[in-house]
Amino acid sequence: MSATSNLMLSLGFSVLLLLHGVVASVDYGTALTKSLLYYEAQRSGKLPSNQRVQWRADSGLNDGSDAGIDLVGGYYDAGDNVKFGFTMAFTITMLSWSVVEFGTQLSGKNELSHALEAVKWGTDYLIKSHPQSDVLYGQVGDGDSDHDCWQRPEDMTTPRTTFKIDDQHPGSDLAGESSAALAAASIAFKKSDPRYSSQLLAHAKQLFEFARNHQGLYQSSIPAAAKFYSSSGFKDELLWAAAWLHRATGDKIYLDFLGSAGDTGGTRSMFSWDDKFLVLEGKVESAGTWAQYKSQAEQYICSCVQKAGSNNVKLTPGGLLWWQPWNGLQYVTTAMFVTAAYSDYLTAGKSSLHCQAGDVTPADLITFVRSQVDYILGSNPKSMSYMVGVGSNYPGKVHHRAASIVSIKKDKTPVTCKGGFDAWFNRDAPNPNVLEGAIVGGPDLSDSYSDSRSNFQQAEPATVSTAPFVGVLARIA
């Protein structure tokens, strides 16, 4: 594998031996199909003729009108009706990386076209959001007012306020992540649609320069995002974007940017929408800054593999890697993705991972990945699949406005802001619409899970959680 194709690895590993009982038979192929269906359920805008999730309908058709710009499209973030640009961009990066890394496997399962459609629904929106080189619209909708209501996106009455960053109001993290998303997508589309790939790359390059030349945290320019997705810093997004741009172009300018980084982040505890510092240049020879990237990444891998002594990542009694109570599975899915990718890189290099407590082979890594996937899909103490619609026992009261309210195609009676809570949120019954492919927040540290719409920490799915799982499922299906 070439140095260019190996340039970027973001390493946050969730790996584990099979510590629980007999693993139930899991249909990874079905889970893969449903993981991509989930993104059709999250669509905002005018739905296409080939829309497969039929309980959804057009929504947000006037988005951007307050600013005189067309911002129709994109994805709703989680169980609400807000379009948060920061997490949407990370979602698109991970969907694109799934195609780049595991496109052959996706094609073999007849899901490559659906994966590219999922990417394009997001990148079309990002292109709209970037009308000028130093302007990027980063949010549509207000989280507070949206969360005060329980409505379908098709008839929501909440404000659809737009928020942007520009040269006077910067957001290097938001611009950097958007650059990474578009650069990664340009690689995904390079063979099937070279013209579109070139368009994506042009926007990615502009956004990187915007992020680098006008530095600052995006929530300082978009305060409405701070309460929901506050960024801890932007240096990691600059490195992340540079890595993807080098992989997309081979241009030395991006390699030099990575190599001259004064802050490589130190050993990280996770890989997520807010933390991409675990960037590794994939050459065998490592010196200077590259050695720092490699060492930091491998220390983290070893902690997830439980080979780092006192620095190991926590495990639940049932064997799940566990970071925190709010949407803990998002960290597991990102970790599994990079574990699977890194396993393949090690195989290509005929190498193993050297940890403090012993070596780990590429085959061991994939075994660990399968154990985590199996836990999520039902091989856990509750025998519950945390991917909705997979298996016979999965969450029925998912914290999700569109899924929890009868489809507008079945009942066009408008659901009012507060009326939705009485009629649907507080309803003691499963959601009328099955949000297939959604990964809920997941169990707590004791492997417990409460299936309740009010339990948003555990019961709310998010686009950032399922995106890396697409690639993982493609790899092992």
Quick check: is 115 in a domain?
Answer: yes
CATH classification at residue 339? 1.50.10.10
Q: Are residues 230 and 139 in the same domain?
A: yes
Res 434: pLDDT: 98
Check: CB of residue 280 under 8 Å from CB of residue 291: no
Res 288: pLDDT: 63
Quick check: is 278 in a domain?
Answer: no
Q: Are residues 245 and 340 in the same domain?
A: no
User: How many domains, the chain?
Assistant: 2
Q: Are residues 221 and 330 in the same domain?
A: no
Identify the active-site residue in 20, 114, 214, 399.
399
Question: Count of CB atoms within 10 A of residue 49's CB?
Answer: 4
Q: Are residues 294 and 173 in the same domain?
A: no
Q: Are residues 306 and 242 in the same domain?
A: no
Quick check: is 368 in a domain?
Answer: yes
Alpha carbons 369 and 16: distance in angstroms, whole number:
7
Q: Are residues 76 and 222 in the same domain?
A: yes
Residue from 97, 187, 158, 171 nearest 130 by CA: 171
Range of the structural domain that residue 327 is part of: 287-400+435-476
| Catalytic site includes residue 399 | yes
Quick check: is 8 in a domain?
Answer: no
Check: CB of residue 328 under 8 Å from CB of residue 441: yes
Quick check: is 450 in a domain?
Answer: yes
* Distance from the Cα of residue 198 to its chain's centroid: 23
Res 9: pLDDT: 38
Q: Are residues 344 and 466 in the same domain?
A: yes
Domain finish residue from 206, 231, 263 = 263
Residue 10, φ and ψ in degrees, nearest 5? -105, 115
pLDDT in tens, the chain (477 residues): 444 444 443 333 333 333 333 344 579 999 999 999 999 999 999 999 999 999 999 999 999 999 999 999 999 999 999 999 999 999 999 999 999 999 999 999 999 999 999 999 999 999 999 999 999 999 999 999 999 999 999 999 999 999 999 999 999 999 999 999 999 999 999 999 999 999 999 999 999 999 999 999 999 999 999 999 999 999 999 999 999 999 999 999 998 998 888 777 777 778 999 999 876 544 333 456 667 777 777 888 888 878 888 899 999 999 999 999 999 999 999 998 988 888 898 899 999 999 999 999 999 999 999 999 999 999 999 999 999 999 999 999 999 999 999 999 999 999 999 999 999 999 999 999 999 999 999 999 999 999 999 999 999 999 999 999 999 999 999
Quick check: is 80 in a domain?
Answer: yes
Residue with structure tokens 């940017």?
A: 257
Quick check: is 103 in a domain?
Answer: yes
* Residues contacting residue 287 through CB under 8 Å, at least 6 positions apart: none
User: Strands, DSSP E only, in 232-339?
Assistant: 279-280, 314-315, 321-322
Check: CB of residue 260 under 8 Å from CB of residue 235: no
Q: Which helix (H) or strand (E) holds 175?
A: helix 172-188
Q: Are residues 186 and 124 in the same domain?
A: yes
